[in-house]
Amino acid sequence: MAETSRHPFLQGLSKHRGAPPTAVVIFGASGDLTARKLIPAVYNLAADNLLPPDFHLSGYGRKEISNDAFRDLAAEAIKEFSRRELSDDVWDRIAAKTTYVAGGYDDPAAFDRLAAHLAQIDKEVGRDVQPLFYMSTPPSVFAPILRNLGASGLAEKHLGTSLHAKVIIEKPFGRDLESALKLNGTIREVLQEHQVYRIDHYLGKETVQDLLVQRFSNAIFEPLWNRNYIDNVQITVSEEVGVGTRGGYYEQSGALRDMIQNHTMQLVALTAMEPPVSLDAEAIRDEKMKLLRAIQPLDLGPNGDVARAQYAAGMIAGKPEPGYLEEAGIAAESSTETYAGIRLSINNWRWQGVPFYLRSGKRMARRVTEIAVQFKRPPGTLFAGGAFDLAANTLSFQIQPDEGLSLVLNGKVPGLETRTQPVKMNFSYSTTFGSNTPEAYERLVLDAMIGDGTLFIRGDEAETSWKLYTPLLEAWAEAGREGMGSYAAGSWGPANADELLVAREHVWRKP
């Protein structure tokens, strides 16, 4: 939204102040995501006075839930999951405008009821209210919801004005190239691209956004950010948890689909893209797309660019844990990977020859998301101890937990001798800014409300990423369990993933 188009009273204020009157409709509102993330996000936005005075929240789902029962569910969710305590002052403001509409996702009559409900809200408010639809259902019902939004006219509501209908689509966005193309096709039948907000909640994290700020607001990095100075980049998205009670879901997914194809690729794009011409959503997405297109197809052969594995029995937090195949809901012969390691080559002037190593796994030593940029070593060493005592300079962005940034330098050990030792410079978010930073979903819901798509994925980005990984998914599906490695629960991953790094004498970090 250009600054000049804003209400004069809002000139100069943050774009996040002054969101227009909005009615958020959550499809699948009785679900887990709504309780854990969406309702707390709305609540915290209200507590920060970032919601417009005419803000309405409606749940939608097949279950028959009364307005009061839905409000009770929401209040419970805030008590349990919000970063702030429930305060009656704030909650009463939202609760008064919180409602629930029961209906099927493929039931046109129910969507007509929803349309009437939203029209009633417009009437009560006395002006147009922007509809924001949040698809928080399993992906199997994304398509019927979209079609019914189209058929009921809701998709076109207020189109042509800044209050046009907007749709947030949860992950997963497809399960391969074909399904992603199909979903994009369905979307394009009823919506224009600027109405669509494909969520990757990693982009809502403060530290991911900080990556852009660090790269493009500090002059010291840009001259070094290329093949001449950077030796390799490692991106780790590891989880300590196993599949828990979601074994059935995970069997259909696996680490590549669940983490690498989406979150990790977004981190690659933001780390490696060229500077955008502006912070405009399209300018950033164009640069991400250019980068994604420069990634070379993966070598799927032996000693190639990929490794997969399942966790075996091991130990987490000092307690024994079973292997993946022993978990509830997992087939004895399952060939779903709980770990994926990938070596990417980016064929452009900036990155040619610099390997990007990606890994993601469940039941790893600890939960961490990190981007580590390792610089080349100095050409010679003047100091005692030789190269061994010098660490490679490494800049690591800790996305979660312990959000922050650290830089490894070499320093002199105090004393008469000149001995070197790696030392760390740390910047910790919680130390510097306090720990009560907004959750990713707060930022994303608000961004969608104000029509800023920067932190959402464009259709072509999703397709390009699937294009890279679909041949691999097909090869793995065909191979069954052949080539499946194994790693102890609680470890840093399988030996076959170490092999990806051996050719260049790199080793995985233990962040």
Partner 1 sequence: MPGIEVPVGEIKHQLARMWENTAKSGGAAPAANSVRATQMNFVLHFGFATACQDAVTQFETVKEFAHRYPCRVVVLCPLKDDGGADEIRATVYRECFLGKSKSDTRCVECVMLSYSMKSRLFLENQVSICLSTDLPLYYWAHLFSDSSRLADYQFMLKHAKRVMFDPGLVPEGGDVVSVAATGSDPRFGERTFTAGAAVSGPVSVGISAESTGERMAGDSYVSSCSLRSGGAGTVGLVEITVGRLWGSERFGGSRATVRSGGK
Query: Residue 427: in which H helix or E strand, if any?
Result: strand 419-428
Q: Cβ-closest residue to ligand NAP?
A: 31
**117 counts as catalytic:** no
Alpha helices in 152-205 (DSSP H): 177-190
| 377 is a contact residue toward partner 1 (CB under 8 A) | yes
Whole-angstrom distance, CA of residue 239 vs CA of residue 13: 39
**CB-based contacts of 76, cutoff 8 Å, min separation 6:** 35
Q: At what angle do helices 142-151 and 108-125 cross, to 10 degrees?
A: 60
For the bound state, the minimum distance from the C-beta of residue 72 to ligand NAP, rounded and expressed in Å, comes to 16
Interface with ligand NAP, residue 137, by CB under 6 A: yes
Quickly tell me which residue has 């029209």 as its tokens: 119
Of these, 315, 328, 331, 479, which contacts partner 1 (CB under 8 A)? 315
Per-residue binding string, ligand NAP, 290-319, x by CB under 6 A, is ------------------------------
- Residue 367 makes contact with ligand NAP by CB under 6 A: no
Per-residue burial over 475-511, b if 16 or more Cβ lie within 10 Å, else e, is ebeeeeeebbbbbbbbbbbbebbbbbbeeeebebbeb
CA–CA separation, 42 vs 97, rounded Å?
12
We find the least distance from the C-beta atom of residue 264 to ligand NAP, in angstroms, to be 15
Among the listed residues 31, 330, 492, 497, the single contact to partner 1 using CB under 8 A: 492
Q: Please report where in the chains the tokens 């995985």 appear, as a residue.
A: 508
Q: Please report how close the Cβ of residue 426 comes to partner 1 at its closest, in angstroms.
A: 9
Helix/strand/coil (H/E/C) assignment for every residue in 6-75: CCHHHCCCCCCCCCCCEEEEEECCCCHHHHHHHHHHHHHHHHCCCCCCCEEEEEEECCCCCHHHHHHHHH
Please identify, among the stretches 61-69, 217-225, 259-267, 333-341, the one whose residues bind ligand NAP according to the rule CB under 6 A: 61-69
388 binds partner 1 (CB under 8 A): yes
490 binds partner 1 (CB under 8 A): yes
> Considering the rule CB under 6 A, would residue 63 count as an interface residue with ligand NAP?
yes
* Cα–Cα distance, 52 to 17 (Å, whole number): 8
Q: How far is CA 97 from the centre of its chain?
A: 30
Q: Between residues 220 and 507, which has the closer beta carbon with respect to partner 1?
A: 507
Distance from C-alpha of 466 to C-alpha of 409, rounded to nearest angstrom: 38
Q: Could you give the CA distance from residue 335 to residue 477 in angstroms, rounded to a whole number?
A: 8
CA 420, distance to chain mean position in Å, is 39
What radius of gyration, in Å, describes the C-alpha atoms of the chain? 24
Check 56, 164, 201, 263 and give the catalytic one.
Answer: 263
Nearest approach, Cβ of 510 to ligand NAP (angstroms)? 27
Residue 421 vs 454, nearer CB to partner 1: 421
Stretch that binds partner 1, among 243-251, 261-269, 273-281, 422-430 (CB under 8 A): 422-430
Q: How far is the CB of 486 from partner 1 (least distance, A)?
A: 14
Q: Which position among 64, 85, 478, 505 is part of the footprint of partner 1 (CB under 8 A)?
A: 505
| Count of residues interacting with ligand NAP (CB under 6 A) | 20
Query: What is the per-residue DSSP string for 310-373?
Result: EEESEEETTEEE--GGGSTT--TT----SEEEEEE-B-STTTTT--EEEEEESSBSS-EEEEEE
Q: Residue 318 region, left (φ>0) first, then alpha (ψ -120 to 50), else beta?
A: left
Binding residue for ligand NAP, selected from 95, 125, 141, 407, defined by CB under 6 A: 141
Q: Binding segment for ligand NAP among 29-37, 47-55, 181-189, 482-490 (CB under 6 A)?
A: 29-37
For ligand NAP, the closer CB: 328 or 479? 328
**Considering the complex, what minimum distance in angstroms separates the CB of residue 373 from ligand NAP?**
27
> Of residues 24, 267, 365, 462, which one binds partner 1 by CB under 8 A?
365
140 contributes a contact to ligand NAP by CB under 6 A: yes
Binding-site size for partner 1 (CB under 8 A) equals 35
* CB 306, CB 298: distance < 8 Å: yes
263 touching ligand NAP, by CB under 6 A: no
Site string (154-183) toward ligand NAP, x via CB under 6 A: ----------------xxx-----------
Kindly tell me which of 68 and 326 has the beta carbon lying closer to ligand NAP. 68
DSSP 457: B
Task: Give the span between the Cα atoms of 389 and 406, in whole angstroms.
Answer: 19
Residue 357 near residue 506 (C-beta atoms within 8 A): yes
Which CB, 21 or 172, lies closer to ligand NAP? 172
Could you say which of partner 1, ligand NAP, none residue 7 binds, taking C-beta under 5 to 8 angstroms by partner kind?
none
Which position among 153, 244, 386, 480 is part of the footprint of partner 1 (CB under 8 A)?
386
Torsional class of 10: left (φ above 0), alpha (ψ -120 to 50), beta (otherwise): alpha
Site for partner 1 contains 7 (CB under 8 A) = no
Binding partner of residue 315 among ligand NAP, partner 1, none, CB cut-off 5 to 8 Å per kind? partner 1
Q: Residue 125 corresponds to which tokens in the numbers above?
A: 């408010």
Q: Which of residues 262-291 bind partner 1 (CB under 8 A)?
A: none
Between 54 and 258, CB nearer to ligand NAP: 258
Residues that bind ligand NAP (CB under 6 A): 28, 30-34, 36, 61-63, 105, 136-141, 170-172
**Hey, which residues are catalytic here?**
263
Which positions lie near partner 1, rule CB under 8 A?
314-320, 365-366, 377, 385-389, 391, 394, 396, 406, 408, 421-424, 428, 431, 488, 490-492, 502, 505, 509-511
